[in-house]
Amino acid sequence: MKSLDSRVALVTGASKGIGRATADALAKEGAHVVLAARSRDHLATASRELVSLGLKASIEVADITDPTQADRVIKSTVSQFGRLDILVNNAGMGYFKPALEMSLKELDEMWNLNLRAVFVVTKAALPHMIANKWGAIVNISSLAGKNSFKGGTGYSATKWALRGFASSLMLEVREHNVRVITIFPGS
């Protein structure tokens, strides 16, 4: 028996990079992995590859910056599998330039994906984890959430905010046996 047999995991930004690798690792540990991202083609490829290895995977095409789509992903996952045990908030993006060169549109895009979408998806997932008295929320941040750097004013701000959100959330949900973990990968 694998460590995550019977668990259901949702990974945002799962079509490539860290999200894809995380989805692969969770599936290899026995979880049914729901891969969520905007690109149907990349998601379909990732899912096919996992299924070809005898692993459990499905896809949800969504732009999680849209609260309606984010909520749909959670509802669809729970409807299909009866539960949601693990949420990996991986979707993210960054513009790296000095504050004077950054547009408000670029800043808003980062805030909407790197923090607001995390809040929306997490808020939709939590009632299911609390009802099951078990859950894990894993936030993929960045070392930029601990260390400032030139050209990182907007991006670092979103990652520091994610760190604050996650730290406070952990205190709010631990009594329900829901863990909140934040990972700070480097470049």
Catalytic residue positions, numbered: 155
Q: Which of 26, 10, 47 is nearest to 137 (CA)?
A: 10
Q: Please check whether residue 121 is in contact with residue 12, taking contact to mean a CB–CB distance below 8 angstroms.
A: yes
H or E element that contains 35: strand 32-37
Question: For the sheet containing 86-89, what is the strand order?
Answer: 57-61, 32-37, 8-12, 86-89, 135-140, 178-183
- The answer for 32, left when phi > 0, alpha when psi is -120 to 50, beta otherwise, is beta
Six token digits for residue 186: 């480097």
